[in-house]
Amino acid sequence: MLFSAQDYAAFNLHNCNVVNLNFNFWVATALETHLEYGIKGGDDDTDEITRRKQVFGSNTHSKPPSKGFFYFVVQAFRDVTILILLLCAALSLGFGIKEHGIKEGWYDGGSIFVAVFIVISLSSISNFRQNRQFDKLSQVSNDIQIDVVRSGKRQNISIFEIVVGDVICLKIGDQVPADGLFIEGHSLKVDESSMTGESDHVEISIQHHPFLFSGTKVADGYAKMLVTSVGMNTTWGQMMSSISRDINEQTPLQERLNKLTSSIGKVGLAVAFLVLVVLLVRYFTGNTKNEKGAREFNGSKTKFDDIMNAVVGIVADAVTIVVVAIPEGLPLAVTLTLAYSMKKMMADQAMVRKLSACETMGSATTICTDKTGILTLNQMKVTKFWLGLEPVLESAYTNVTPFVLQLIKEGVALNTTGSVQKSNKSGCEFEFSGSPTEKAILSWAVSELNMEMENLTRSCSIIHVESGVLLRRNADNTINAHWKGAAEMVLKLCSRYYDASGIVKNLDSNNMMKFEHIIQGMAASSLRCIAFAHAEVAEEEVGDEEGSTMVKVKENGLTLVGLVGIKDPCRPEVKNAVEACQHAGVNIKMITGDNVFTAKAIATECGILQPNQDTIGAVIEGEEFRNYTPEERLERVDKICVMARSSPFDKLIMVQCLKQKGHVVAVTGDGTNDAPALKEADIGLSMGIQGTEVAKESSDIVILDDNFASVVTVLRWGRCVYNNIQKFIQFQLTVNVAALAINFVAAVSAGEVPLTAVQLLWVNLIMDTLGALALATEKPTMELMDQPPVGRTKPLITNVMWRNLLAQALYQIAVLLTLQFKGESIFGVTSGVNDTLIFNTFVLCQIFNEFNARKMEKRNVFKEIHRSKLFLSIIGITIILQVVMVEFLKKFADTERLNWGQWAICIGLAAISWPIGWVVKLIPVSEKPLLSFLRMKN
């Protein structure tokens, strides 16, 4: 019978003073599990899993409740822009009712309240949905896969499916998925900093410290553990229940936009105050006249109510100026752009964990990438086998001396973190687990050498494991050491070698050179070269500390048994992806642990190095880079294309150097040791398939398919996000500059504003919201990769944007002021129809200018517009709403109906925006930011 939840809570393992194998066996028996075969829980036996979840709980953590919709409504009301609009609405409503009565006086103030309601609703809904999306993304990112033994079979399951009694297989980089006991393993060290805050790794062993805690990370070694508590019953679970992730982080771009909005608001307030002063001076000096041509203010003869009504009207005009100055649609545009981009990037195999990465990636100037699994397929296969100085063909394996073959099999089977199991699947006899290199070697040994791993494992007992393995054979009680690793490193430890006949020969300098040529030849063919070495150990050499025994073995020299070459072919799409990055002005640097020859071969195959390129300074080893002085690193880092034999520390130093040089650096990584570089980089990109949990936690974006082509897609999306927001800023500022200038000039010169608060809110909010949606959802194009990266210093509003928006704004100001002062006489219309012509022309100018905003530098603004169905739909909706506004909402919008001729005039005047946009783009602009010229003059 299984423990009840109460019994289990009372069963405190931490009070045990002596923990040994008997204790592990007793715990396993109590939990109805087996230390070697695990629980009964195969594909056809889910009842046992369900029962354990019911008794002990599931391996999930309860989270604080998600923020409700009302929370985001309250947050929206805290926005300074919203508070200013609410104040304006209250003033306008009060003044409007006082001047025109409640029946018609509520229009302006009421419309501002409606606008505020729309802003708050859209903002709250968007943030609420974004919050839900982050919860889903968090659930995906926390769904780690881990190896578990059930019914004697090793299988890969979700961390959420682990139950009490499971036997878990841990390796370097894994997150410990639950609390439990160490069963067996070697050199296991765990990073418990997440629990204790201590940075030193804790050594886990049966004798001294057998406890493993959920949430900690495996820093070294491998092991099996018995799960004793899951989910909220773990120490980590109790800690996590009190932690909530703040998803309302502001991105750097959003901070810059907030500053821009604030600056525009200040300008608007200053202009509004100036208008208020001017209009008050005009009124009280008798320079304003009523509809009959009489002076409005005649000193003491003017009634107090008339003075108050006039002052209220003037204040209402000033409020209108403030309303037009505030770009209400700007924050919404950013939210729409980021939300849309995040969703689309997920479909393109990139899961965004931090919002800032969306836009920062568009500014990247350098990408530091791993080789295995990103540039290559990570589908390794042994293609070369050397015994001594002679290659061995597949057909000649049977001619190899059985003694030497036995040593190779022993070295493969016992010095590995992988495993071999018989498969139940049709079409394959065995299933292999472990790293790609381990799986390739195990597959080769089983299929080509007929290795029986289970028999070999039982025939020996392992004494010690580090870079090699020290074992005792059960048959003859002899002690042997096996080494396996990078060929050039293992070769340095060898003083002898076996030939194909099993004869031991001295590894003199001449033979050493021959082996080095063999290794270099395989590396030049893009093969990863792995060497096997062996040494017999006398009983008296085995001391109390097995580690010291291994040191003595290395000092005495090993015997080289054989070499294998493992092929990991480049991904077919990588070469084009690398070329695309280079064309876009982004430097690609490959940082790998492979030797120089393999690194060169792969880099050339991928296009990082050119076939005839001078590699002096472009290809270096990590040790060489490490030994440079800080000044030498900064001087040479730009030229480096490939760094071979590098450590994670070398990668970190390179990222720091590149950032010091002013680069925006993206780093790809999949291992635990990559975490420092991923955190240090401006954008950390971890791998979704091969990446460890530590790497994913340290990254900003997870590449779900481990493919470098997806990194390029992320780069293109990043540029698209930045570009779309710039398009909208150009579009929005054109509206604000034109409206502010028109109302200011008209108010100062004529004493009245041609565009009412309702009309301006319609242009500024409804139209710009639709404009944001249209421009923010433009998909990335290959043209984005023709531009150099933005980098760190390029201004948000470029000279090209200033050129475009000022040209359009000046045209609109000229046309609308002409209509304001001469429209009635030119077209022979009443003042009401003339005001409607001004409003309608202004709105239609923005609709036509929206096409210009699609392409900030290209003259053909209609290119591929048939693919932008959403853009065309929004333009259609905007036109329909404008027709309704003019023709059917006369009282609310303060408009008059227009005939077909008048509509044609409005459309004709607005359409001139297109040829103006075309001509303006012929004008060259300086690359130097506009503000820098102003600083120089100052």
- Total residues belonging to the chain: 938
Q: How far apart are CA 365 and CA 788, in angstroms?
A: 8
Q: Please report where in the chains the tokens 């639709």 appear, as a residue.
A: 770
User: Which parts of 652-772 are beta strand (E)?
Assistant: 665-669, 683-687, 701-703
Q: How far apart are CA 897 and CA 915, in angstroms?
A: 29
Query: In the chain, what are the helix, strand and coil shares in percent, each to the nearest 5?
Result: 55, 15, 30
Residue 812 three-state SS: helix
Tokens coding 226 = 């018995």
Q: How far apart are CA 691 and CA 671, in angstroms?
A: 6
Tokens coding 337 = 């752009």
Q: How far apart are CA 811 and CA 846, in angstroms?
A: 12
Active site residues: 370
Residue 182 three-state SS: strand
Give every CB contact of residue 730 below 8 A, 6+ residues apart in sequence. 797, 801, 804, 805, 853, 856
Q: How far apart are CA 339 and CA 776, in angstroms?
A: 10
Tokens coding 862 = 């209609």
Give every CB contact of residue 922 below 8 A, 6+ residues apart in sequence. 859
Q: How far apart are CA 45 and CA 788, in angstroms?
A: 57
Give the CA angle between residues 198, 199, 204 to the nearest 5°: 85
Give every CB contact of residue 537 below 8 A, 6+ residues apart in sequence. 470, 479, 480, 481, 549, 553
Q: How far apart are CA 635 and CA 632, in angstroms?
A: 5
Q: How far apart are CA 494 and CA 533, in angstroms?
A: 7
Cα distance from N-terminal residue to C-terminal residue, the chain: 85
Reference 245, options 134, 340, 358, 334; nearest CA is: 134
Q: How far apart are CA 59 and CA 777, in angstroms?
A: 39
Give every CB contact of residue 402 below 8 A, 6+ residues apart in sequence. none
Give the CA angle between residues 670, 437, 599 to the nearest 5°: 70
* Strand-pair partners of 47: none
Tokens coding 381 = 């296969």
Q: Please report where in the chains the tokens 């060169």 appear, as a residue.
A: 600
Tokens coding 894 = 């303060």
Cα torsion through 256, 260, 262, 266, rounded to 10: 150
User: Which parts of 319-376 are beta strand (E)?
Assistant: 350-352, 366-369
Q: How far is CA 723 from CA 358, 779, 835, in A?
A: 12, 10, 36
Tokens coding 164 = 């009490």
DSSP 8-state symbol, 175: B
In 371-508, where does DSSP find H-type helix?
402-414, 436-448, 453-459, 487-491
DSSP 8-state symbol, 174: P
Tokens coding 183 = 């069963």
